[in-house]
Structure 1
Amino acid sequence: MGMNVLAGSAVLSLTLIWPSVIAFGSYDLAEDDDTILPQITGEEPSFIKKLTAYGVTTDSETSYTARIMLVSMIPFLILQLPKIINVTTVTREIVLLTLILTSAFFIGYAVYQMFQPWIQNRRFDYIRQKFVKNKLLKLLSTNGKANVQLIKDLHKKLDKNHDGKVTHAELKTLVLGIQLQAEGELSDDLVERIIDQFDFSGDKCIQEDEFVRILTKWLQEARRSLSKNDYNPLSFFKKSQEGVDEEQQQPLIPKNKNLNDEGLVWEYLKALALVLFGTLVTALVALPLIMNVSGFATDANIPSFLIPYVIIPCAINIPRLLSTINSASQKTQRAASLTLSQIYSGVFMSNMSSLTTFLLTVYIRDLPWDVSAEVLVVLIICGVMGVFTSTRIVFPLWTGYTGYLLYPISLLMLYLLTAVWGWS
């Protein structure tokens, strides 16, 4: 069941969520290329022309995350060796080798982020952009400029003792109240990093000018992402918005956050405790989950194939799909890059954690098993999408629609391999 869900989730992430970034985040590529003449104002290109003239561009870090995901394909390739060399069963030696390699990748990825936290920083930027886009645009005035007076009024409301200063605790109330992070619990570290952006002087208080300055920058960046030439598959539901051309700004979030050794160790220990707790919960609910899923499929007369490959992955990933569409709709290179990086990082972690748990169980209990069909499909889909993203930074609109076509193709492959040809 775990390997079935793993295959279904990986396929869904790369053939439904990934293409949604291109389809809903597409804009006129001429805006990113000075050698291409932009469309004349008022001229609406045909759908066929949009397939090549519209799309998204990404940065080099997005290609790096795709390459990291490609590394996770090595254990899957090793597991596929018995089919390649025509051996009927997977030997314990291959299981042990794959388990060691998968665990090493999983631990190495975590350690790498400790010393090279650029992936975490991109996660922070991803959340901040969604926060500004969704929560703060109401602070814009009718002419698209930051409403300074409204921002000052907000500062006064936060200033409980009316001394002209907002403490970190008071600002934290605002950040928590507007629910900065759309997915999951808002971490204290993330709150502190947001708060640090306002405190330019470092006096642990936010002056009014500091508050106005940083919010104005964030609003300008969010406003710049809106363009009248943007293409959106749902554009017929809403009116287009005019954009404001402004000069590029430096990143608002620092690349590193210095923590003292004691705080750093405590954060890692807390993270490890959460991982162990999650593993324990998974072990406790695994058997009831399998029994209930099987019973549900039988009572509802649903083909058993659809449960682990479609229904469970969709239930898990639909919120991510909606969040991805919302983020990609900012229609900027930065938004597309951060969103795609999130997808590839998530697939890597899902592949390694699920495969480690599965192989550990199989090796300890010496269980017979054959998931070569799932392994092959994950290899093909992750390999194709990983190589594709790691070798280019421009994704025309047609690549998004092509990605959507891979979803039914991958499900058909799984069905033929498992139900027709009896691989599993």
Structure 2
Amino acid sequence: MLSGLSGSKETAQDQVLVGMGLLAGSTVMLLTSIWGTCIVVGKCDLQNSVAQDNKDTKGFNLRGSGVSTDIWTSYSAMIMAVSVLPFIVVQLPQILHSTSGRHTAVLVALVLSVSLLIAYCLYQVYQPTLQKRHLDFAKHKHVRSRILKYLKKRALGRLVDSNGEPNQEVLLKLFNSIDVNQDGSLSVPELRALVVGMQLYEINLNEDDAVTKVMKDFDTSENNEVEFDEFVTGIGRWLDEAKGFKKTTSLAGPDSLKYVHDYYEETKKEHDLLGDQTHDDEEEEEGVDDPRTTTIKAVLLLLLGTVIAAVFADPLVDAVDNFSAATHIPSFFISFMVLPLATNSSEAVSAIIFATRKKQRSASLTFSELYGAVTMNNVLCLSVFLALVYARGLTWDFSSEVLVILIVCIVMGVFGSCRTTFPLWTSFVAFLLYPFSLILVYVLDYGYGWS
């Protein structure tokens, strides 16, 4: 950007041309070749539409093997799809076949791009807190469903009567079985014994927190004990929640409790989709010994990377131009096809390494990294180019490149946000998008003269 602002207008136009080619090529490569490769190397056996960690026995089964991610990865894909809005704004004059207002469209797109960049950075800051809150809520809901399933299994009769109301006679027997000291109320230790006895190891449960929340659900009198009437009211409230949790549940009758099992399975699935990063002890990250030193080191490395990029920016553009002149290959296609191989190498290597671990958590990190890199392309890199175009009064004529970015980002963004499991066949969809993008740009530029 510095060289584009200080150099001649022709130099600045070349900078933007190469930069847009690199931006388009990087985005397309990340979401096609690298995305598809991660599916292939990270595939596991699919069971009930969920990939089983470290289990890969079905080979290259297009439907029987694949990868699963958490729901936060789907949100990342959704954010990536939204991040293309500045491209649409800057293209509006061309879409409307208008020769006026192009400079204004660049300014509006620049403001929107910077705003999205700030919003995305804030989301990254607060996302861990949001994730923890969602995960804690999902854990508590799973505990409730597990208690209902546990009580249903131990009940000598139906938990609900013929009218669909809590069966007090059956609940009294269950209440007495939990009330060890038979004092007519359930204490914290007795609720703890109930929770511990259910052995909820699969959700990495904090037992103290779980007991506190269960007590809060039942103890309406706030005396830190659960009376029988509070127990009945609480169980009734949980049963009503279970009935309405899954709309597709078909009840065999007013006293049917099939929905309890459905509720349990759905809450467990919801917890798994949120991705409990503390569940896998092998993946647990160690704390930072010296946060201040680590922060300073990170900032210095970022500054060093910025300086290196600034120093080599002009030589890179000159090299592309010289190679283009020598081979008679348009500089855009060099930056579109060749440069992304170098600039995307770090993302490609780290993403593929994570994918080879064949776990849901590693797959989630892999695809979140890819979606995040594309999002930063769409908001940060585009902001730089738009600022350069606006400040120098350059020509924005990248319709074919923008169209390719829109197609790939929207297709893969919608694809990634609508599902959390990707069978092996989805990799071929991604692979085919790469040659499609190359052909589309070539046809639009040289067949229809878009650029």
1:174-193 maps to which residues of 2 (within 5 A)? Answer: none
Contact in 1 for aligned 2:32/2:430 (Cα 8 Å): yes
Contact in 1 for aligned 2:41/2:356 (Cα 8 Å): yes
TM-score, L = length of structure 2: 0.56
> Shift of residue 12 of structure 1?
0.2
Would you say 1:99 and 2:99 are equivalent positions?
no
Q: Which runs of 5+ in 2 are unaligned?
A: 1-17, 133-276
What letter matches 1:250 in structure 2?
H
Q: Distance in 1 between matches of 2:96 and 2:278?
A: 55
Contact in 1 for aligned 2:90/2:106 (Cα 8 Å): yes
Name the residue aligned to 2:20. Answer: 3
Q: Distance in 2 between matches of 1:419 and 1:89?
A: 25
Q: Distance in 2 between matches of 1:98 and 1:322?
A: 33
Farther off after superposition, 323-332 or 54-63: 323-332
Relative contact order, higher structure (CA 8 A, sep 6+): 1
Contact in 2 for aligned 1:118/1:255 (Cα 8 Å): no
1:52 counterpart (42, 63, 66): 63
Name the residue aligned to 2:436. Answer: 409
> Shift of residue 366 of structure 1?
1.5
> Shift of residue 418 of structure 1?
1.8
Name the residue aligned to 1:22. Answer: 39
Instruction: Check 1:254–1:100 CA distance in 2 against 1; reply closer, same or farther (3 A cut).
Output: farther
What letter matches 1:293 in structure 2?
V
2:337 counterpart (281, 306, 310): 310
The DSSP-based 3-state class of the residue aligned with 2:63 is helix
Would you say 1:389 and 2:426 are equivalent positions?
no
> Shift of residue 45 of structure 1?
5.6
Q: Distance in 2 between matches of 1:362 and 1:352?
A: 15
* Corresponding residue pairs, total: 287
Would you say 1:61 and 2:72 are equivalent positions?
yes
1:241-256 maps to which residues of 2 (within 5 A)? Answer: 250-252=279-281
Name the residue aligned to 1:340. Answer: 367
Name the residue aligned to 2:407. Answer: 380
Q: Distance in 2 between matches of 1:372 and 1:274?
A: 36
> Shift of residue 81 of structure 1?
1.2
> Shift of residue 84 of structure 1?
1.8
Q: Distance in 2 between matches of 1:329 and 1:258?
A: 26
> Shift of residue 409 of structure 1?
0.3
Instruction: Check 1:88–1:417 CA distance in 2 against 1; reply closer, same or farther (3 A cut).
Output: farther
Q: Distance in 2 between matches of 1:388 and 1:78?
A: 23
> Shift of residue 11 of structure 1?
0.2
* RMSD across aligned positions (CA): 3.6
**1:348-392: CA deviations, max 9, x gaps?**
112211111101111111122211211111011001000000010
The DSSP-based 3-state class of the residue aligned with 1:52 is coil
Q: Distance in 1 between matches of 2:128 and 2:426?
A: 30
**1:130-163: CA deviations, max 9, x gaps?**
xxxxxxxxxxxxxxxxxxxxxxxxxxxxxxxxxx
Contact in 2 for aligned 1:73/1:379 (Cα 8 Å): yes
Q: Distance in 1 between matches of 2:397 and 2:330?
A: 20
Q: Distance in 1 between matches of 2:428 and 2:78?
A: 23
What letter matches 2:418 in structure 1?
T
Q: Which structure: larger Rg?
A: 2
The DSSP-based 3-state class of the residue aligned with 2:394 is coil
